[in-house]
Amino acid sequence: MIKLDNLTKIFDTSEGPVTAADHISMEVPSGEICVLLGPSGCGKTTTLKMINRIIPATSGTVFINGEDTSAMDTVDLRRSIGYVIQQIGLFPNMTIEENISVVPRLLGWQPERYKARASELLDMVALDPSTFLKRYPNELSGGQQQRIWVIRALAADPPVMLMDEPFGAIDPINREVIQDEFLKMQAELNKTILFVSHDIDEAVKMADKIAIFRAGKLEQYASPDTILAHPANEFVAGFVGSDRTLKRLQLVRAGQVMGARPTFVQPQQSLSEALVIMERNEHRSITLVNSQHEPIGIISRDVAWNHQGLCGEHYEGLHGIAQQHDDLRTVVAQMFTADSSWLPVVDDQGRLVGDITQRGITHHLGATYRTQG
Amino acid sequence: MLFNQARRYLYFGLLLLVFITGVWAERSGVLAELLEYDEDIRYLVVAHLKLTLISGGLAVLIGIPLGIVLSRPSLARHAETAMQLLNIGTTVPTLALLALAMSVLGIGNGPAIFGLLVATLLPIVRNTYTGLLAVPAHLKEAASGMGMLPRQLLWQVELPNALYVILAGVRTALAINVGTAPLAFLIGGTSLGELIFTGIAVDEPIMMLAGAVPTALLAITIDFSLGLLAFVLVSKGVNPLRQR
């Protein structure tokens, strides 16, 4: 857990004092990623750097796991925090192994221990230790450097990590990949992470909580969904963008919105049975599943009305299929592509578990406004 | 490709030139005459090397720490002033510098070493200073953010990354030093200058060559050894000599 209590930074400049961070108070629960978000010069980086005292705070206190850090020695404090800066901060004069083991060596680990740790971390990001340990940073591609630079911060297994726009310098495709890898890693490691970004999409994707800064002040601190659905003021609303409701789609999985009791028919059922089910539910089409309960096609009401026979003989192909873990953005994109108002939802084994409708999605997104009145 | 080819022709031309010169030296008897100074050359090369290595060694021992101290942030305001002072050491002609050393310290090897030391200090300090300042700020921030002490930052990050530039300064300094050491003869220092200046004085070109050629060879040898040292000492990750 990281707790900031009235953290303030006033810089003395030639044009008089400038308040870069003004009484910032917030609390990041253990194991969560908090993204500090805002335009440049808003104080988010200053706030981050006050935590490991790269920038000394003018006033205020930082607590890490309940401990007041102002009582701690600066060097000890920094060695217990993983720190990832904006630029790729790998030391070019050191091999990858030496780079990864900087903090463990500072902490006085035995060589066997930090060497094993370096290999373990390389394995974690799917880089072969036998190839990479003895290489130098300039022999690696940008994406590889990026990965190593993130795992270097993890070397001594710090409970807390500070990341200053860590993925800002990479191209969009690699950034997506590394973000996903990072989230997967975080799901296992459960670090408490403070993460500076100026990209709202990155924030929505990575964050458990988002803190929005403007001119040194914390404007809103809440979950991504709350920030998007209920921006605290004009500034936050403007910053998250007019399409903020669409951004919320990323936050919800198909499994959370789907109707859990989907209607379906099997190939050996007759079309008239299908018609009855559709009429009872006021549906215009119905999913056909095979014996493994996997969706294989749909039957529309017109077909069932105009034909006789078995469902297995008169179905058309699926318009699309949603995975339970897909976010709603993916689902909606599929619906739009197929010009379809609903999709069957399947679990990891490909079995039908529900159906998701455009109406259900808009209902879900709107729910937060109805409960708030 | 074209460049490589041109270089190969150049090498070949040089080799040919050396060979022709060698043949000429042998046929015309210059070589035999040069070898008459064999004994003098041996004695003076050792003395010359002694002058260079002592003054150069002292310059390294003083220059590198001085460069490090000047590059510390707490001294940033005074660094350029100090550098200008050292600049005087190079702007004053070396001969005048040696003359000054003589007028203060008298004649002999001592004043010669002092004069050479002053003349070669600047490139070392300058390169150490700029080399350290050129280490990217974000590397230093990353290092201190990871909990390195200033001492660890200097030894593990700053010096290894600046080493190539520092050694280049030492290389320049020693090249100047070897080339200037003959002048030490004029204030009573023992060096190959003895053959050169005497050769000029008694109008004996072969004698002068007996001093000049070994001086040039010494300069090349020292430069080559320092290049080798840079190749070995500077980490492969930041060594321009070892990039593919």
CB contact under 8 A, A92 and B237: yes
Q: CA-CA distance, B145 to A77, in Å (whole number)? A: 10
- Closest CA relative to residue A338, chosen from A351, A322, A323: A322
Q: What is the pLDDT of residues B167-214, one digit of tens each?
A: 999 998 999 899 888 988 888 888 898 889 999 999 888 888 888 989
- Residue/partner pairs of A204-207 with CB below 8 Å, 24 or more apart: A204/A228, A204/A247, A204/A250, A204/A251, A205/A179, A205/A250, A206/A33, A206/A35, A206/A179, A206/A182, A207/A33, A207/A34, A207/A35
- pLDDT band at B36; cut points 50, 70, 90: confident
Whether A92 has a pLDDT exceeding 70, the answer reads: yes
pLDDT at residue A372 greater than cutoff 60: no
Whether A288 contacts A355, CB under 8 Å: no
CA distance A75 to chain B (A): 5
Q: For the segment A152-208, what is each residue's pLDDT rounded down to a tens digit?
A: 988 988 999 999 988 877 788 888 888 888 898 899 889 999 999 988 888 988 899
Q: What is the largest CA-CA distance in chain A?
A: 87
What does the DSSP 8-state code read for residue B157?
I
Contact criterion met (CB below 8 Å) for A133 and A95: yes
pLDDT tens-digit series, residues A33-56: 999 998 888 889 999 999 989 999
Q: What mean pLDDT is reported for chain A?
A: 88
Would you tell me how many other CB atoms lie within 10 Å of the CB of residue A373? 4
Of the residues B146, B151, B153, the best mutation for testing chain A's interface (the one with the most A CB atoms within 10 Å of its CB) is B146
Residue contact B139–A91, C-beta within 8 A? yes
> Strand pairing partners for A346?
A323, A352
Structural domains of chain A, ranges and CATH numbers in brackets: 2-241 (3.40.50.300), 254-366 (3.10.580.10)
Torsion of CA B48, B49, B53, B59, to 10 degrees: 40
CB-based contact, A157 to chain B, within 8 Å: no
Contacts of A93 in chain B (CB under 8 A): 157, 160-161, 235, 237-238
Of the pLDDT bands very low, low, confident and very high (cuts 50, 70, 90), residue B2 is: low
Spatial separation of the C-alpha atoms in residues B73 and B64, rounded to whole Å:
16
Residues B176 and B189 sit within 8 Å (Cβ to Cβ): no
Number of C-beta neighbours around residue A367 at 10 A: 11
Contacts of A165 in chain B (CB under 8 A): none
A52 touches chain B (CB under 8 A): yes
What pLDDT score does B1 carry? 60
C-beta atoms of B148 and A86 within 8 A: no
Q: Cβ of A54 and B160 within 8 Å?
A: no
Average pLDDT over residues A6-18: 89
What are the pLDDT digits (tens) for B190-203?
A: 889 888 999 999 98
Does residue B80 register a pLDDT over 90? no
Burial (CB count <10 Å: 0-12, 13-18, 19+), residue B187:
buried
- A277-301 residue pLDDT tens: 888 888 888 888 888 888 988 888 8
Cβ contact, residue pair B145, A138, below 8 Å: no
Q: Is A76 touching B (CB cutoff 8 A)?
A: yes
Assign A338 a pLDDT band (cuts: 50, 70, 90). confident
A296 with A318: CB under 8 angstroms? yes
What pLDDT score does A371 carry?
Answer: 66
